[in-house]
Amino acid sequence: MTPVVVLITIFAYFIVLFSISYVVGHRADNQGFFVGNRKSPWYVVAFAMIGSMISGVTFISVPGMVAASGFSYLQMVLGFIVGQLLIAYVLVPLFYRMNLVSIYEYLENRFGLSSYRTGAWFFFISKMLGAAVRLFLVCVVLQMLVFAPLHLPFILNVIFTVGLVWLYTFRGGVKSLIWTDTLKTVCLIVSVILCIYYIAADMHLDLGGLWQTIRGSEMSQMFYFDDVNDKRYFFKQFLAGVFTMIAMNGLDQDMMQRNLSCKNSKDSQKNMITSGIAQFFVNALFLMLGVLLYVYAATEGIAVPQKSDELFPQIATQGYFPLVVGILFVVGLISSAYSAAGSALTALTTSFTVDILGVKGKSEEQVVHLRKRVHIGMAVVMGVVIFVFNLLNNTSVIDAVYTLASYTYGPILGLFAFGIFVKAPVKDRYIPLVAILSPVLCFILDRNSQAWFGGYSFSYELLIMNALFTFIGLSLLIKKPVKA
């Protein structure tokens, strides 16, 4: 694909996004920006949530990971479904009952101001790093397809990409995100199905042959029960999936602001159950595509890139298939990336404005002015983090996302778990110390686990240990009852 074709595709998609954002958010007030005025139909949110759970990382990294991990990722996705059910029936009723704008307001009501600020700051760090990693992957692909052929530096790539995201989220907030996520879901599903179709057609495979090719591949193994030290071991992946979903969806302002935009808790629960089950089948499609990509590369003698994340972009855009495949790839990538980054930018703006800077005592006009300045600031910080990550990157991006989540979402998970299941008051001023020490202990544990535990290596279940350390730390801070 030529840089011109890629740019035309990006701008065409961006015009659609901006049009949706302008129409939906034209009259959005602060309540509309933050929680969509709680008027979103649950079935629209459910369909949009399928796309919101799939970022550019999933679009590129999941197909590439099958060579090393097979279909083991689906073990984690099964855990995601269980996690969604727990969110739907434990957290959603709680948040609706408290009528929250930011879910971290719960921590202030339960513990105090220190824990509230702690949760907000950990969310800020978690979401900023996660969003930057996801958008970084898109910048890498755009650098390969557009900016490098035009001899333009990576920093211009970052400014261009983040600038587009900022523009289309400027007005609409959550309301526009739900509708752009709906468009994203359509683009993702259509693009991956058509890519599978064109690859199968080029390999002269009918539907039966396609199924046999995927099923007969060693890369299609889904369950791993043999070796507890293997990172693909079923219970590691499944339990990590459960708690990762609770942390990265139920305790994440970015994702929960969509669920809180439904009319009531019952509608929100319907949305979460429907989207949770649907994501299993969508992720299975991506893994099937990955098997076909590797089989096609072996059949045609195509050199597989050293980084698995580069396999799909290389085959889709380097002239091996009709131009439409490359266009579909770009549409799928930018639809996943821009929507995911846009939702993160909106959530960061909401949390930083409401939780960290505070809006109590401010007029509607003052909050609007503050929110707009924060929105610009979040975009600038995201661009800087992407540029820094480009200098440091040395791993698969999807692995980087879940590794970061294990360290940064663990204290949030521990705080909410303790708050819900233990009713005793704690010494609020020491909570930030516990939240910092828990990831440090996890890092020490991870680095020494093989020596200490007979070769056992932690995977994403490190998130559970992080939350457990936080829970134990809070237990030590329980206030003793004052004697009469």
- DSSP E strands in 169-282: the ranges are none
The structure tokens listed for 6 are 């890629």
- Amino acid at position 451, single letter: A
Cβ contact 387:158 at 8 Å: yes
Residue 59 phi/psi, 5-degree rounding, is -60, -35
Token pair of 416 as six digits: 């909410």
Please tell me the least confidently modeled range out of 205-209, 393-397, 465-469. Answer: 393-397
What Å distances lie between residue 403 and 385, 391, 466, CA to CA? 17, 18, 12
Q: How confident is the model at residue 30 (pLDDT cuts 50, 70, 90)?
A: very low
- Residue 255's nearest CA partner among 364, 407, 418, 126 is 126
Q: Which residues of 202-221 are buried (b: 16+ CB within 10 A; e: fewer)?
A: beebeeeebeebbeebebbe
Rounded Cα gap, residues 358 and 378, in angstroms: 16
Q: Model confidence over 328-353: pLDDT tens digits?
A: 778 777 777 776 677 778 778 877 88
Rounded CA separation 50/249 (Å)? 12
Q: Tell me what pLDDT residue 171 has.
A: 55
Report d(CA 303, CA 420) in Å as an integer: 52
Distance CA 237, CA 74 (A): 9
AA identity, residue 45: V
Sequence-distant (6+) residues with CB within 8 A of 41 are 262, 263, 267
Distance (Å, whole) CA 154 – CA 451: 41
Percent of all residues in the chain with a pLDDT value above 70, rounded to a whole number: 83
Amino acid identity at 187: C
Distance, CA of 445 to CA of 257 (rounded, Å)? 34
Asked if residues 105 and 355 have their Cβ atoms less than 8 Å apart, the reply is yes
Q: Indicate the pLDDT class of residue 293, thresholds 50, 70 and 90.
A: confident
Instruction: Give the separation between CA 201 and CA 195, rounded to whole angstroms.
Output: 10
Question: How far is it, in rounded angstroms, from Cα 232 to Cα 217?
Answer: 17
Q: How far apart are CA 331 and CA 43, in angstroms?
A: 24
Predicted confidence (pLDDT) per residue in 119-138, tens digit: 888 888 877 877 787 788 77
Q: Are 174 and 38 in contact (CB under 8 A)?
A: no
Instruction: State whether residue 248 is helix, strand or coil.
Output: helix
pLDDT tens digit sequence for 251-272: 777 677 777 777 778 888 888 8
What is the widest separation between alpha-carbon atoms in the chain?
83
Residue 36 has pLDDT above 60, yes or no: no
Q: How far apart are the first and last CA of the chain?
A: 78
pTM confidence score: 0.72
Instruction: Give the pLDDT confidence score for residue 471 in this predicted structure.
Output: 94
- Tens of pLDDT, residue by residue over 72-92, are 989 999 999 999 899 888 888
Query: How many C-beta atoms lie closer than 10 Å to residue 456's C-beta?
Result: 13
